[in-house]
Chain A
Amino acid sequence: MIVRYACATALGIGLLFCVSQGRVAAFPVDGDQTALPAKTELNEDALDKPREVFRSELAGGKSYLISLGNLAFSSPSILGEVARQAGINCGTCHVNGAGNAKFFMPKMSTRPGNFDTTGPLFNPKADNFMLDPVRIPSLRGARYLAPYGVDGRMPSLRDFVHNVIVNEFAGPEPSPVILDAIVAYIQDIDFLANPSLGPGARLVGKISDSERRGEALFAKPFPHDPGMSCAGCHVPSGGFVDHRQHDVGSGGLFKTPTLRNADFNAPYFHDGRFDTYDQVVSHFDKVFDLGLSAQDKKDLVAYLTVVGDGVLPYEHDGAGASLKEVNDFSSVLAMAIPAGDKAIVSLTVDTVGRELRELTEQYPDRKNTVVSGGEQERNQARAVLKDVVLSLRRIDMAVAEGRLNDAATDYRNYRYLMAAAVPAILVNAEPWSLFNQTVHDQHYGALRQVMRSKRTSR
């Protein structure tokens, strides 16, 4: 319960922050000369990232296909020019396969957490000349949640992914293997475990009276339409979905969203119009004339909160998490190099190199005014990360020239560096890195201050 309330509080604070700060102090993207609208907020500097649970890792390990899909999901190069220029990739919105409640992009969003997939920025050919953003969904448990799209227009996840790449983001036609890989990756993202859900998703364990009452109310037929209930569409035993579209008074037919892990999926409804379960429950009460008492509403919210919970929803971002991801991505090379697969090698080298360059910037250089101390440690961290970026580039060059043995040797050296030297050097430098909350806050505080002075002057 403590965890649950802490999460709910954190969510509340996060939402408050979005409203009060999100459009004022947008960062990191805030220069005039970027491919994205000024005041875009990608929330890339967040130190707490959604925790990603892979089904395959529970079973044994990720396959080549899943790692390749994860890699492509994180690569701007599979999307169109604007996204590539801005470094936008699938993971920008679906951070670690979850959502991004703070994401806000002028011209494409009406509030933090939503995005117009038919807007003018990424593919003018797909622009419908309406600002009609949809909320950014979490992809946890997506394999249970067909059909796809908020309106459930696509039965096939593969078709949906294809549409996102080619139409929404103007990317080049993806190869079949890349499409298969992304689908395999998305289907591998599991829900966070929730020990309060027993067989048939009945509440089990230490459950409060309010939650228990909420569970009963959830299943109770609507007073004016006995054929309907909350549980009629959000079927508890079926992942809290019914795979259908309904009109719930929000302006059209939209598919039933899951309630699993939904505590971390705000904002709610197809366009992200609601910030809290209270607002959601009040909406249903009004539209379906449910006649809920104040206590009923509280009980339903308590039930939704316990259903929507998950174990360890966030993890602190750090060198360890970054290196784990990078190692997963670069494991693709073990098959792609001997196969002489130039396209996959290039995709891997570009994507991993980009991640490693970003990781390098977590260790401020000597000119950074907010960090003192650890200069040698930071220097070593930056130098070793640059070395691994270049060793990857040598692999790419060797494969492009057909020198597969050289590439294999370079890959062995790369793996060796990444297994021992790199983690040790990064751990040494961590206290003076942007992974340290104090250093992080000082660094971004200074940047925000500088950018704010610019806006004030206009």
Chain B
Amino acid sequence: MLRGQGAQTMVDVRVAGCLILLTLCLDAHALNAAPLDEAAERYRPYMIEGIGEALAGARELRDRAAANDLAGAKKSWLSARAGWERSEVFTAGFVPELDAQIDAWPNADCGFHAIEAKLFGAGRTDVQGDADALVEHLDTLHRKLGDIVLAPQGLLDGTARLAYEVGESKADGGESRISGTSLDDMRNNIAGIDFAYRTIFADTLKSADAKLADRVANRIEQLKTVVAARDLPHVDVGTLRRASEELVVAIQAASAKLGLSRPTLEAQSR
């Protein structure tokens, strides 16, 4: 009887042990997700600030253009653009429709590039309709940001996606070739990646795999060094692409350690 009880106890312990292990395995996501969820919340003010800067710039741009002040309008466009580019970690994945309207390309009838073509290309300030639309879209986005659910998976996806994009060839002058600000776009993109990683994922990854965390941080630093070049023709494209891809590979490896799925490289392809 006692022996039986003892055996039963052993079995119970084993079952319990197995259950705990199983729970640990199954709940790896939940266990890690909680601190990540909290960390993602810390990202929210940065997001609001970036889009807030873009919105303020767009409003200023609208006013300067209305006053026929080409130089002032260009300056405001640049300021709005900087805020936007820093926010690209989340825009494509979290607000794809607004993203497509705000950042449409190449013959956009609204958004940044439509205005860029007129201001920097044609040297015209008749952008009232475009500027109104940009302000409206950014304002809608800005108002959404307080409530938007910030899933860590979506933010990891966005970070990986943007890390891949910064490695793309800029031999043709890049995305903002008309204003000549493609290098600024890259710098702001990398600043956005850096902030998202440090704020949301770095601590959890350090405790899970310090070596991998080092690798991610190291590749982000490499990217920052490459885009510190004085102008686009001096950006070392080989190192840029290598660092970009190695960063994505490292982030992909990190996803498992963070209890998340492997990041997708295109918005909405999950």
Q: What residues make up the interface of A, taking CB atoms closer than 8 Å to B? A: 28-36, 77, 84-87, 350, 353-354, 357-358, 361, 365-370, 379-380, 382-383, 386-387, 389-390, 393-394, 397, 443, 446-447, 449-451, 453-454, 456-457
Contacts and interface: CB of A to CB of B under 8 A. Distances in A.
Interface of B: 96, 99-100, 103-109, 117-118, 120-124, 164, 167-174, 177-178, 180, 182-183, 231-238, 241-242, 245-246, 248-249, 252, 264-269
B265 A454 contact: no
A357 B172 contact: no
Contacts of B99: 367
B174 A456 contact: no
B120 A454 contact: yes
Contact of B245 (A28, A36, A389, A443): A389
Query: Binding site of A, secondary structure by majority: helix, strand, loop or mixed?
Result: helix
A350 B238 contact: yes
A390 B249 contact: yes
Nearest to B96: A366
B172 A34 contact: yes
Shortest Cβ-Cβ A-B pairs, 9 listed? A31-B173, A31-B177, A446-B107, A33-B232, A454-B121, A393-B245, A386-B265, A457-B123, A383-B266
A354 B169 contact: yes
Contacts of B183: 33
B107, B108, B182, B242: residue with the most chain A Cβ atoms closer than 10 Å: B107
A33 B177 contact: yes
Contacts of B122: 453-454, 456-457
Nearest to A458: B123
B233 A34 contact: yes
A57 to B, nearest CB: 30
Given A379-B269, A390-B248, A31 B104 contact: no
Contacts of B242: 350, 393
B106 A446 contact: yes
A366 B101 CA distance: 10
Contacts of A353: 241, 245
A366 B232 CA distance: 26
Contacts of A28: 172
B107 A369 contact: yes
A446 B237 CA distance: 27
Given A367-B104, A369-B105, A390-B249, A29 B173 contact: yes
Nearest to B265: A386
B169 A31 contact: no
A382 B164 CA distance: 12
Contacts of A31: 172-174, 177-178, 180, 182, 232
Given A32-B173, A454-B121, A390 B245 contact: yes
Given A33-B180, A369-B106, A457-B121, A77 B252 contact: no
A453 B174 contact: no
Given A33-B177, A450-B117, A457-B122, A358 B233 contact: no
Nearest to B164: A386
5 contacts: A350-B242, A366-B100, A393-B242, A443-B106, A453-B118
A367 B100 contact: yes
A87 B171 contact: yes
Contacts of B236: 85
Given A28-B172, A33-B182, A354-B169, A366 B267 contact: yes
A449 B113 CA distance: 13
A35 B171 contact: yes
Contacts of A389: 245
A343 to B, nearest CB: 14
A386 B246 CA distance: 13
Contacts of A367: 99-100, 103-105
A454 B234 CA distance: 23
A280 B245 CA distance: 51
A365 B241 CA distance: 20
Contacts of B232: 31, 33-34
Contacts of A85: 171, 233-237
A367 B114 CA distance: 13
A193 B100 CA distance: 49
A35 B169 contact: no
Given A369-B105, A386-B266, A397 B174 contact: no
Contacts of A383: 264-266, 269
